[in-house]
Amino acid sequence: MKKILVLGSSNTDMTVKTPVMPVPGETVLGGDFTMSPGGKGANQAVAARRLGGDVSFICKLGRDVFGENALKHYRAEGLGTDGVLRSDLPSGVALITVDNAAENCIVVASGANLDITPADIAASSDALRACDILLMQLEIPVPAVLQAARIAHEAGATVVLNPAPYAALPEEIFSYIDLFIPNETELSAFSGLPVGDVPSAVRAAEVLFAKGVGKMIVTMGSKGSLLLDGGAPRTVSAFRVDAVDTTGAGDTYCGALCVALAEGRTLDEAARFASAASALSVTRMGAQTAMPTRQEAESFLGK
Ligand code: RIB
C-alpha cells in the first residue's frame, strides 16, 4: 500500500449545540458541550487511517495537556507520529457551534499550528521525500505548505492540497499540486470568478489549470463533487443522509479520497468512496468522533 503523509493542523474542538446561531452581540443558551480531537490536518490523517490507509502525520503541538492528549490519541489511532513537533505556543483550539440544521461556525485559536517554521519542514524532508501521497490544508503557515509541496513534488510524490480555510497562495505552488480539492467558495476566491454551478466551476477551474494544477475535485456539499481531470467534467452525487453535524465532513472526504487513490483506484471510484465516508461522518456529532471505519464505509456502499 502506498504511504500517505498528512502535514497540517491539530486542534482540540470545543463544541456547543445551539438551537440558533447567535448574531453579533447576542447571547443564546445552547445545549450539550463536547471536547474532542479536531483540526483539519488531524481530521484528514485520522479519516485516512481509520479507512485503512498507511498514514503518518506531521503537526506541531504545544507542551500542554491538549498536546499530550492529542499525541496519545494519534498513536492510539495508529498514525505514524515520528514527525510530530513541539512548540512553546499553546496547542490549537477550535470553538465550534453547531445548529439544528447541522451547520457550524468555527473560530480557531491556531497557537502552535502557526509555529511550523522553514526549519521544521527542512527537518521533515526525509519523510516528505519518502511518501507517495502528501496531503495538506491551509491551517498552517503558507510558506511551510509551499516548501513541503516543493520537496514532495521534486521527489515524485503526488501532492494533494485541500485549500481550507482560504489563504492567498504564491504562484509557484500551483505547478507542484497534482490534485487540488477546493469547495465552491475557495475556488471562486482562487480564480477571481463567481462559482455557483457546474459550468461556472468548470470556467473557474480553467484559471487554476492554467497556473499548473494537475487535476481538481470541487466539493459542492449536498450537490456532490465535480471531477475535473482533463476528460469530460463529471459529478459524483452526494449520498442523502440525516445530517446532525457537518464538522469535518470535508476532511473525511479528503482523507478517504487519498486512501482510495493509494489503493490504486480511479479518481471516480475514489470520489464515490470519499462521498460515502463523508456522508457517514455527518450522521454523528464531532469531527474525528464521527469518522467511519473501513467496515462501516464498505457496508454503507453495500460491499
Ligand atoms: O474542518 C473542521 C475542523 O476545522 C475542526 O475540527 C476544527 O478544528 C477546524 O480546524
Q: State residue 222's pLDDT score.
A: 85
Which of 6, 9, 10, 13 is the best mutation target for the ligand 1 pocket, counting ligand atoms within 8 Å of the beta carbon and taking the most? Answer: 13
Contact status, residue 112 vs residue 61, Cβ threshold 8 Å: yes
Which of 34, 40, 139 is the best mutation target for the ligand 1 pocket, counting ligand atoms within 8 Å of the beta carbon and taking the most? Answer: 40
Which amino acid is it at 232? A
Which of 251, 253, 281 is the best mutation target for the ligand 1 pocket, counting ligand atoms within 8 Å of the beta carbon and taking the most? Answer: 251
| Residue span of the structural domain in which 195 resides | 3-300
Contact status, residue 137 vs residue 41, Cβ threshold 8 Å: yes
What is the whole-number distance in angstroms between the Cα of residue 164 and the centre of ligand 1? Answer: 10
Q: State whether the beta carbon of 120 lies less than 6 angstroms from ligand 1.
A: no
What is the whole-number distance in angstroms between the Cα of residue 158 and the centre of ligand 1? Answer: 24
Please name the residue whose Cα sits nearest to atom 10 of ligand 1: 39
Q: State residue 226's pLDDT score.
A: 98
What is the whole-number distance in angstroms between the Cα of residue 210 and the centre of ligand 1? Answer: 30
Q: Between the CA of residue 50 and those of 6, 123, 206, 278, what are the distances in Å?
A: 14, 27, 34, 13
Q: State whether the beta carbon of 11 lies less than 6 angstroms from ligand 1.
A: yes
Please name the residue whose Cα sits nearest to atom 7 of ligand 1: 39
**Cell of residue 124, nine digits:** 521533515
Helix axes 249-262, 40-50, angle to 10 degrees: 50
Q: For residues 160 and 281, what is the distance between their CA atoms, to the nearest angstrom?
A: 21
Supply the CATH number for residue 146's domain.
Answer: 3.40.1190.20
Contacts of 250 (CB under 8 A, 6+ apart): 162, 164, 183, 219, 278
- Just list the catalytic residues: 251
Ramachandran assignment for 202, one of left (phi > 0), alpha (psi -120 to 50 degrees), beta (any other): alpha
Task: Give the 3-state DSSP-derived string for 46-105, with helices as H, strands as E and coil as C.
Answer: HHHHHCCCEEEEECEEECCHHHHHHHHHHHHHCCECCCCEEECCCCEEEEEEECCCCCEE
What is the whole-number distance in angstroms between the Cα of residue 39 and the centre of ligand 1? Answer: 4
In 3D space, the residue among 9, 17, 23 whose CA is nearest the CA of residue 115 turns out to be 9
Q: Checking DSSP bridges between strand 3-7 and strand 133-136, what pairing results, if any?
A: parallel
Q: State residue 1's pLDDT score.
A: 82
Phi, psi of 90, deg, nearest 5: -70, 155
Helix (H, G, I), strand (E, B) or coil at 22: coil
Q: State whether the beta carbon of 43 lies less than 6 angstroms from ligand 1.
A: yes
Query: What secondary structure letter does DSSP report for 282?
Result: T
Q: State residue 12's pLDDT score.
A: 98
pLDDT average per 10 residues of sequence, the chain (303 residues): 96 97 96 97 98 98 98 98 98 97 95 97 98 98 98 98 98 98 98 96 98 98 94 96 96 98 98 98 96 97 85
Which amino acid is it at 195? V
Predicted TM-score (pTM) of this structure: 0.97
Residue bearing cell 450539550: 32
What is the tally of structural domains in the chain? 1
Ramachandran assignment for 40, one of left (phi > 0), alpha (psi -120 to 50 degrees), beta (any other): alpha
Q: What angle do CA 28, 101, 197 make, to 5 degrees?
A: 125
Please give the number of the atom of ligand 1 that sits closest to the Cα of 43: 6
Q: State whether the beta carbon of 56 lies less than 6 angstroms from ligand 1.
A: no
What is the whole-number distance in angstroms between the Cα of residue 90 and the centre of ligand 1? Answer: 17
